[in-house]
Amino acid sequence: MANLLPIFYTNILPIFVVIGMGYALGRTLRLEVKPVSRVAFYVLAPCLAFSSLIKNRIHGDELGRIAVFVTLITIAVGILTWLMVRTLRLSRPVESALLLSTMFVNCGNYGIPLNLFAFGEAGQARAIMYLVVSSTLVNTIGVYLAARGRATGSQALRNLVKVPLIYAVLLAGAVSLTGATIPAPLFNAVDMVGKASVPMMLLILGMQLARTSVTRDLGNIGLATFIRLIVAPVLAFGLAAVMGLRGVTSQTMIVEASTPTAVTSTILALEFDARPDLVTSVVFLSTLLSPLTLTMVIALVK
């Protein structure tokens, strides 16, 4: 317990203080989340990705391992959830909601700040790469799961090409490969804007949580939360060991895979009417309980 308290105090508590500020803003001032979220999505996060990857170079082999890990852990959690759904003979809408709730994690708003506090800028850079791969999966597999056949391939592709984070990563990769020099004033400006991304992400998460509520479907909410916060970390530890991941890459991948349900899942559930009330409830409960499990996970990987 002596080791857990400092981890919670230094890595988790600051995150929830800022989330609490966002929650209070959402409750008292009734601020619109979408305009602020769009600024973070289109400007702040891409700047953070570019500057972080320029300062913390990640080699091609490691990038490949990260992509494989994110893909495999997402699929593994999805298969396990599907088996549980089939065993319990749940309805198709509930199946879609549970898959969205367990497969896709809050590796951006929550995961990037958490890994920055826990493992420094090296952890933040790898968390960004996790987010890029996860965003690709959300905008392809996630769209399909939410729509269950109603989403066309072109629709998934359109969603994917709208993610500016991907272009920021590609640009950072091009700069690294070519050895190009970025003028100091330009890089400093991008770096400064990027640094605003971390607190803004947490404020947005708090504002989004202020609009959520928990339904009475406690059995399915509890099942999804258990898979997301307990089962997924166990699978992540096993996969990282099998893949031979080491150091900060292993630490970051395991912690990212252990974060609560992504708010993006709620957006998809709303868009395609896949039990958004259930998904929103899992987002809220898994986020609320995540300090307990993530404190343990960080203690184990350090």
pLDDT tens string 200-259? 989 998 998 888 877 778 899 999 999 999 999 999 999 999 999 999 999 999 999 999
Using the predicted structure, report yes or no on whether residue 153 has a pLDDT greater than 70: no
CATH number of the domain to which 267 belongs: 1.20.1530.20
Q: What is the per-residue pLDDT across 37-82, written as a single tens digit (0 to 9) for each?
A: 889 888 998 999 999 989 888 887 899 999 999 999 999 999 999 9
> Within a domain: residue 93?
yes
> Within a domain: residue 299?
no
Q: Which two tokens stand for residue 249?
A: 């890459």
Rg (Cα) of the chain, in Å, rounded? 18
| Structural domain containing residue 235 | 4-293
> Within a domain: residue 76?
yes
Q: What is the mean pLDDT of residues 280-293?
A: 95
> Within a domain: residue 302?
no
CA–centroid distance for 258 within its chain: 9
Q: How far apart are CA 213 and CA 165, in angstroms?
A: 30
- Whole-number pLDDT of residue 134: 92
State the total domains in the chain. Answer: 1
Residue closest to 123 by CA, chosen among 238, 252, 295, 3: 252
Contacts of 68 (CB under 8 A, 6+ apart): 243
> Within a domain: residue 300?
no
Residue 255 near residue 114, CB atoms below 8 Å? yes
Terminal alpha carbon distance of the chain: 15
Q: How far apart are CA 278 and CA 15, in angstroms?
A: 25
> Within a domain: residue 127?
yes
Instruction: Please tell me the pTM assigned to this model.
Output: 0.89
> Within a domain: residue 133?
yes
> Within a domain: residue 227?
yes
- Whole-number pLDDT of residue 269: 84
